Structure 1
Amino acid sequence: MNEEIAMVKSVAIVTGASQGIGRATALRLARDFEALVLVARNRENLQDTARQIEAIGAQALVLDADISAPGVPSEVVEQTLARFGRIDALLNIAGAVPQIDLFEMTDEQWHDGAELKLHGARRMTLAAWPALKASRGSVVLMSGNSADTPKAGYAAVATINAAIVALAKAFADRGIQEGVQVNSVLPGPVMTGRRRSFLEKWAPANGMSVEEATIRFPQNAGISRFGEPEEIADLLAFLVSPSAKWMTGSALRIDGGEVKSV
């Protein structure tokens, strides 16, 4: 038996909601939205996030799905509308591109990175667009500050991040006429679980403790410390709030001052 549509006034979809910035964003948005749709591949982590969201007072719908598969974004939107009847914000956060040297990365690694982070976000935004038009809603696409600082060691990351900024601006151009606000965000180095796991392997291999590596890495990047997922989440929450409605087509950097170009 199908559930009746829940009567809520505000619904946000968050991809990549099982960990890191996506999880922090979903928890932050639970203070502002009546319902959150949590999308990622790890169902157990999503369910844990959902329990915390419901403790805050919002409703949560868990959809364990791989948005890199072409048909999945449309299914996510269909299930969201079947459950809640509306979409007010879409936060495209899913996607991690491996940092492999330009001359060593395979075609398959390039393809996989682009399918999830770039094309997954593109397909999610296209699928949700009619509902976002109806609600005059907001979209955020997650890029990264490497979009402005491409290097051989992470060429795929930089290329895909730059494409996301361009894609967000193209969506924003259409959104000006159709009432949908679209922005991109470019975080610097953030202390996520993935980064912590990397440091736990890298530090002993380079003769230092994890604590020392946690200090050394930001210093080498010219910043005081790693960012925290909650700090990125606060910016994302602002972008999909009524206070930011006149902001569209913007690419907002939040990186502790790592990128020093004008």
Structure 2
Amino acid sequence: MSSRQTEVMPNFEQTLLKKRGSALTDGLSFIAYGAQAIANDEFSKCFAPKPRNKVISYLLKGLKAPLSIAGMGIRYFLLLPIRIFILFGASAGFFIALPIVLRLKSERLKRLLFKLYCKAFLWSWGSKIRYHGKKPVLDEPHIFVSNHTSIIDYIVLSSHGFPHATVAQRQGGIIGYFQKNILKLNGSLNFDRSQKNDRSVIAQKMREHVFNTEKSPLLIFPEGTCVNNEYTVLFHKGAFELGAKVAPVAIKYDKSWADAYWHSRTQTFSSQ
């Protein structure tokens, strides 16, 4: 949120005191003040997708048009099949290796398998990621907390150094399948916002996970929702009441070619 606060109706109180009228008039003035405050709400812009730079449209102009058309041909007819092959090949390898790793009961191999699968996802998207700083490896209870833009936040962070367990809202479709059958294997927790009892149960399970240093480090997104990567909203305090050290993480996406923001109320993840 911006630190600069703009006054919706300057000198509203002074103007109201100078007026002489009925109580009804005063009430209507307050209603108008509230309506303008809602209309100029700065909080809603945290969830509004920001138009990305029209790089492709720009490249199609003038003398650069032939190069841009050639680039699109390479991306869609050469690179896209390769990326699909990487994604499906990595998925096949993951599901073949997973039962073997689980049978061996090796936490180290399981972490390596999850990490490589996350890397394969990023390779298939042609992503370029720049990590700043060294990812901490702690032998005491700790959690990682990060701002939240999309489901791929988890993949980005789990592909670097070591994978994470996470806490997430239950989803349907292919994401729900991965939550129920894959992510739960590394200790990830799922909850349903409509079930009030889930909150206390999840809080207890989070504490148990955090204080078991043999498990994958827990990654939490305390904003509780996806934000458009231009702002952050208030972090819920529950993540900081576990009695564990906190390792903060910040993720910033480049929107030149695509916007990573997942507006879950209007988009499915596959249509992002």
Q: Which is bigger in relative contact order (C-alpha 8 A, separation at least 6)?
A: 2
* Structure with greater Cα Rg: 2
Same-fold call, TM > 0.5?
no
Provide the TM-score with structure 1 as the length reference: 0.31
